[in-house]
Amino acid sequence: MRELTVELGERSYPIYIGEGLLKEASSFLKNAASARNPRL
């Protein structure tokens, strides 16, 4: 998996790229729930 960060100051966010990410969506959702402004 690769993680890229879109640099927008306070509005920066990560983008995850890789095989099988949809299969692991539940772990991303758990982490996103604790984030300030989650996006999927």
H, E, C per residue of the chain: CEEEEECCHHHCEEEEECCCCHHHHHHHHHHHHCCCCCCC
What per-residue confidence (pLDDT) applies to 23?
86
pLDDT in tens, 1-40: 898 999 999 988 888 888 988 888 887 777 666 665 555 5
* Domain limits, the chain: 2-33
What per-residue confidence (pLDDT) applies to 21?
85
Distance (Å, rounded) from C-alpha 8 to C-alpha 37? 14
What per-residue confidence (pLDDT) applies to 16?
84
Structure tokens belonging to residue 7: 């640099």
What per-residue confidence (pLDDT) applies to 31?
67
Decide if 27 contacts 16 (C-beta within 8 A). no
Model-level pTM greater than 0.75? no
